Amino acid sequence: MNLRDVFVVNVCSIFCLLLSYGDCNNSEFFQSNHTNNWAVIVDTSRFWFNYRHVANALSFYRSVKRLGIPDSQIILMLADDMACNPRNPQAASVYNNANEEIDVYGDDVEVDYRGYEVTVENFIRVLTGRLPENTPRSKRLLTDERSNVLIYMTGHGGDGFLKFQDTEELSSDELGDAFGQMYEKLRYHEMLFIIDTCQAASMLHRFYSPNVVGIASSRVGEDSLSHHIDPAIGVYVIDRYTYYALEFLERVKSQGTETLAQFFAVCPREKCKSTVTTRTDLFQRDPRKVLVTDFFGSVRNIEYSMDPVTPLQKHHGSAVDGQIKDESADNISYSYLSQFPSF
């Protein structure tokens, strides 16, 4: 074995260790087959006493950004602007913990739909792509058949519905049909749907599209409870399920090996005070072998090979009638197009 072979073997060994896959088998890396990640994060509640729902949504927003999904691939819908609410003692800030260690509003939040733009109609239009022609790119879910999509929703709900703005409701039938349209229009590869609301499991019952996995913070007939209050703010700042989900996500790294099955178990009943429910019958992969970052991150797969690669021989010219024509002598000048061309 020469020096070059030793170098290649060492590099491959280090690569395997970094990715925490002992046998470095290709099948262990590329199971999802998706090429891009998107997230739709929705808070459906208005009014100051629903502060926690905005904090829930912003907390998930912060997590997916930290793990690599860019703002250009996140649709953030906030029904109320708690950061600018006159009751907020911490102006221009939103906290999800009484210690106020992390301002989840921060200085780089890009809200795509805010206030009265957060409606059932707009939400369905975003998912199905049926938006007016003049809708800006930042408000569009530009997914395709290789997109893994994370949808997180929080607010007040009941048996078979989720309230929007206290004025209208999204039904479980409407949600299931929206996912059905997305499947027919090749708008996702796999989808993870998470909902934190009372009787949340009822919103999973009408799903029928393939490759959709659902997580609900409570069963039918159960309330989804708040976690704790911040005395300085005077209201609850986060819900129980979201609190423990974020506690798990904060430990996840972009190259982590945490699985979806582990994520299912983040909030047992003794912590949540409700029964977290999952639906996996439509999902074609084993959640124990699905990485959390398949939905929460934006990791680009890198293919490697242990086989030697022979580079193509370079030649300056083209083949004409079996003969190589040398084009190096041709004096061809190139120039860049103007950044702002005039027509």
Catalytic residues: 156, 198
DSSP for 269-294 reads HHHHSS--EEE-TT--S-GGGSBTHH
Burial class (CB in 10 A: 0-12, 13-18, 19+), 108: exposed
Which among 152, 165, 82 is positioned nearest to 116, based on CA atoms?
165
The rounded distance, in Å, linking the Cα atoms of 107 and 124 is: 29
Residue 185 in tokens: 């229009």
Which among 295, 212, 211, 286 is positioned nearest to 252, based on CA atoms?
295
Separation in Å, CA 243 to CA 15, 18, 113, 237, 266: 34, 30, 24, 10, 10
Residues in the chain: 343
DSSP for 138-196 reads GGS----TTEEEEEEEES-EETTEEEETTTEEEEHHHHHHHHHHHHHTT--SEEEEEEE
Instruction: Report the largest interatomic distance among the alpha carbons of the chain, rounded to a whole angstrom.
Output: 84
Other CB atoms within 10 A of residue 249 CB: 21
The rounded distance, in Å, linking the Cα atoms of 339 and 223 is: 56
Residue 121 is inside which H or E element, if any? helix 120-128
